[in-house]
Structure 1
């Protein structure tokens, strides 16, 4: 399935984990999500090159997703390619964006791909 085909709206983010136990070879970001009427799932971003977690914490409310999508022609991806001075130009990267309702948090992950389990 494509990223946008999942029903992210009103799904609850239960946990976020960044795994760099094998840095540069297997950098991942894992979201544990509870999807309404479907139960728990794990959204795993694989071969991650950049993460921005602009989160508003301290709010006593579950962290529900408002929307999630792949940002086409992402300025963040173009900026990342520029910072790497041509070393990763041949790698196809995507900018995944997740915006939450409860805290108006904005998360961006630049990665090669994602898996849902």
Structure 2
């Protein structure tokens, strides 16, 4: 199932894990999400090159997701990233965006791919 096909709205982020045990070779970010329609599953972002987390804490509420999508090519962060890596990276990277409803947070991940773990 593709990133944009998942039912993000009102699903809840339970855990975020960043794995850099093999830096530069296997950089991953794992989200444990209680999906609104299928229950708890994990989504793994693989070959991560960039991450920005603008998260707000102190709110007594679950971290429910408002929306998530793949950013268009004219997104400012993907454009800046591509400028920095111009000529070095040959792979196509995607910018995944997750916005939350309960705390107004935003997470942006530039990576090669993501997949839902069983």
Bucket of the pairwise TM-score, normalised by the shorter protein: over 0.9
CA RMSD, 1 decimal: 1.0
Q: 1:76 maps to what in 2?
A: 77
Q: 1:93 maps to what in 2?
A: 93
Q: List alignment gaps of at least 5 residues for structure 2.
A: none
Please show how residues 9-88 of structure 1 align to structure 2 within 5 Å.
Answer: 9-73=9-73, 74-88=75-89
More displaced, 77-86 or 32-41?
A: 77-86
More displaced, 31-40 or 91-100?
A: 31-40
Deviations 1:20-78 (A, max 9, x none): 00000000011100012411000110000000000001111000000000001132122
Q: List alignment gaps of at least 5 residues for structure 1.
A: none
> TM-score when scaled to structure 2?
0.94
Aligned residues: 116
Deviation at 1:91, TM superposition (A): 1.1
CA–CA distance in structure 2, aligned partners of residues 60 and 108 of structure 1: 23
Runs of 4+ in 1 over 4 A off after TM superposition: none
